[in-house]
Amino acid sequence: MINFIQYFYSNNKIYLDLNQVILKSQSNFILKEIFMKAKFLFLSSVVLASSLFASDLAKEALDAGIIALPSDQAKLTQMINDAAPDAKQYPTTMATYELGKRLYFDPRLSKSGIISCNTCHNLGLGGTDGVPASTGHKWAPNPHHINAPTVYNSVFNSVQFWDGRAAHLAAQAAGPMTALPEMASTPELVVERLKSIPAYVDEFKTAFNSEITFDLVTTAIGIFERTLVTPSRFDKFLEGDTNALNSNEKAGLKLFLDKGCAACHNGVNLGGTLQPFEVAAKYQFANVGDFKGDANGMVKTPTLRNIELTAPYFHNGAIWSLKDAVKTMGSVQLGIEINDKEANDMVTFLNSLTGDMPKVEYPMFPASTDKTSKPELDY
């Protein structure tokens, strides 16, 4: 005899109680058949309800302004080109990509000859350097105690640098190269060194049909950086694959949306736009470094893509735990308390934003010549 199958919904979770199913006679074929059909219909309804919940959740995320990286390569390429303001003038070709990659890794662009773009934006470390504030020329710490943002998916940021002072990747590339506490070079030194290397002269002619200029150096680096995009399981979920996230990740996403995190962490990068900081409370480590945002106190919201790879967090790298970062954002930005369980659930979702990293082979560099200026270590 089938006594009862109880189920109810609470907080979007399905609770089942099949313990009261009693078959009085194991040999009774009819009752077994009834039970199996009832069980099948019930479990089918559970799967359907779960699928509907996932579809509604994906729609809720999309309605909150979050945008998927397309799985279709042509659409992804178009999205990248739309985000790069110089893409029409300087399209991504194999020649420009390879030149940009070589320049990104070549330490001879720095005055000392030992610091490259990859030093602070290490592609093997989530596109960051894994320390609170970067170290530059003569082992100098960043004077403002600024944490290096990830270079991955940076093409989708509406602005570059924490204070948004650069509009696109090529403009950003010029900054660290010529900053005294970073690579400490000058446009003239960079061009002089590259022109002294015949292989680079040929590469610029092939890639741009031009002699070497500082603007084309930064453009080439920006073209390489355009390609550093990392689609994730979350993108597949937004595109309709309800099984791309597990139940715990979906629960974390639901909390992320319900708490209001998507107010700032939206768009294709779940961040990357200028937003006000310390909206509801003071940041507990505000005195670490002197960064205060742009002239209006606006700060670039960091992308949440690959966030588990980019500790420490915040503009000054003062928080190492992603769980603590989530709780801090709740109090500082939203004026709410996020408890440990909620924070852990949201971290579970945030980890699903770790994407597929593009394969980048470390390049071999052309040889320096007698005309190549010697490294200036200033020790």
Rounded to whole angstroms, the Cα distance separating 119 from 104 reads 10
pLDDT averaged over the chain?
A: 90
Backbone angles phi, psi at 72, to 5 degrees: -75, 125
Q: What is the pLDDT of residue 2?
A: 34
Q: What is the pLDDT of residue 23?
A: 40
Q: What is the pLDDT of residue 55?
A: 85
Residue 346 · residue 269 · CB < 8 Å: no
Question: Which residues of the chain have a pLDDT value below 50?
Answer: 1-27, 44-48
Give Cβ neighbours of residue 130 (< 8 Å, ≥ 6 apart): 122, 311
Q: What is the pLDDT of residue 278?
A: 95
Residue 58 · residue 237 · CB < 8 Å: yes
- What tokens were used for 61? 């995320």
Taking the CA of residue 176 as centre, how many other CA atoms within 13 Å lie in the half-sphere pointing to its CB? 29
Q: What is the pLDDT of residue 248?
A: 98
182 is catalytic: yes
- The catalytic residue among 33, 60, 182, 211 is 182
**Cis peptide leading into residue 312 (ω within 30°):** yes
- CATH-assigned architecture of domain 73-226: Orthogonal Bundle (1.10)
What pLDDT digit, counting tens, does each position of 5-23 carry? 333 333 333 333 434 443 4
Domain coordinates of the chain in residue numbers?
1-38, 73-226, 232-351
Rounded to whole angstroms, the Cα distance separating 121 from 273 reads 20
- What tokens were used for 74? 């042509």
Do 73-226 and 232-351 fold alike per CATH?
Answer: yes
Q: Could you give the 3-state DSSP secondary structure of residue 152?
A: coil
Q: What is the pLDDT of residue 44?
A: 47
Rounded to whole angstroms, the Cα distance separating 317 from 288 reads 9
Rounded to whole angstroms, the Cα distance separating 120 from 143 reads 15
State which fold the 232-351 domain adopts. Answer: Cytochrome Bc1 Complex; Chain D, domain 2 (1.10.760)
